[in-house]
Chain A
């Protein structure tokens, strides 16, 4: 069965650079979530999209932005990268319906290292 695809899987950037992470949800899933997991930390919710509209916002820094496109894939854009942005970034998708009640299917994550 198709799963959530994230690209790239690994990314190394320098401080103050920008990065773009991509997420391709499971086909027919209309909700996408982004999470950040720092070293030794719980996953932190960043932002979610439902039907191409931002549906909820968590602890996403102002330097980050995201959007969901017409094909439901999502991109997380990160600018002015800081060392503390080094983390594993997970994307998850869930099927049509009320987001909180549905299982989220997670992608493999993108490991971002900022040097």
Chain B
């Protein structure tokens, strides 16, 4: 994988459902994996920065895991709420600074 890829492109869930989506990134020359939450008409908000294989981070109902050997990260949202509706971006620095973003997963949580 040469680019950062995310799947699915969009996701519709009901309030209370738990959900997860995937970010795939180049596993060679890995520096870090960033997750951002991006609401319409706002700027991206940093969720997690992950650097170690096997790392797992949690912020409230949102958590993420990292597998640097196979080049993927999962973002989990437990008990989705309508306010979780946003685009979730992952990004990985191509080198120390050149951040490459995925296309994002657009999550819609229906009340």
Q: What is A's interface to B at a CB cutoff of 8 Å?
A: 4, 31, 33, 35, 42-45, 48, 50, 55-58, 90, 92, 98-109
B99:A33 contact, CB within 8 angstroms: yes
Interchain residue pairs with CB less than 8 A apart (8): A42-B101, A45-B101, A58-B98, A99-B93, A99-B96, A100-B95, A100-B97, A104-B46
Q: A102-B49, A107-B43 are in contact. Are A56 and B101 (CB under 8 A)?
A: no
Query: Cβ of B97: which chain A residues have Cβ within 8 Å of it?
Result: 31, 33, 48, 50, 55-56, 99-100
Which residue of chain B is the closest to A108 with respect to CB atoms?
Answer: B43
Q: A42-B101, A43-B101, A45-B100 are in contact. Are A100 and B93 (CB under 8 A)?
A: yes
Q: A42-B104, A45-B100, A48-B98 are in contact. Are A101 and B31 (CB under 8 A)?
A: yes
B49:A106 contact, CB within 8 angstroms: no
Query: Cβ of B96: which chain A residues have Cβ within 8 Å of it?
Result: 55-56, 98-100
| 15 extra interface residue pairs, beta carbon distance < 8 Å, beyond A48-B97, A99-B93, A101-B51 | A42-B102, A45-B100, A56-B95, A56-B98, A92-B44, A98-B96, A100-B32, A100-B95, A100-B99, A101-B32, A101-B49, A102-B49, A106-B43, A106-B45, A107-B43
User: Looking at chain B's contact residues, is the secondary structure mostly helix, strand, loop, or mixed?
Assistant: loop
Which residue of chain B is the closest to A41 with respect to CB atoms?
Answer: B103
A42:B103 contact, CB within 8 angstroms: yes
Q: What is B's interface to A at a CB cutoff of 8 Å?
A: 31-32, 34, 36, 42-46, 49, 51, 89, 93, 95-104
Query: Cβ of A92: which chain B residues have Cβ within 8 Å of it?
Result: 44
Query: Cβ of A35: which chain B residues have Cβ within 8 Å of it?
Result: 99
Which residue of chain B is the closest to A43 with respect to CB atoms?
Answer: B101
Query: Cβ of A56: which chain B residues have Cβ within 8 Å of it?
Result: 95-98
Q: A100-B93, A101-B51 are in contact. Are A90 and B103 (CB under 8 A)?
A: no
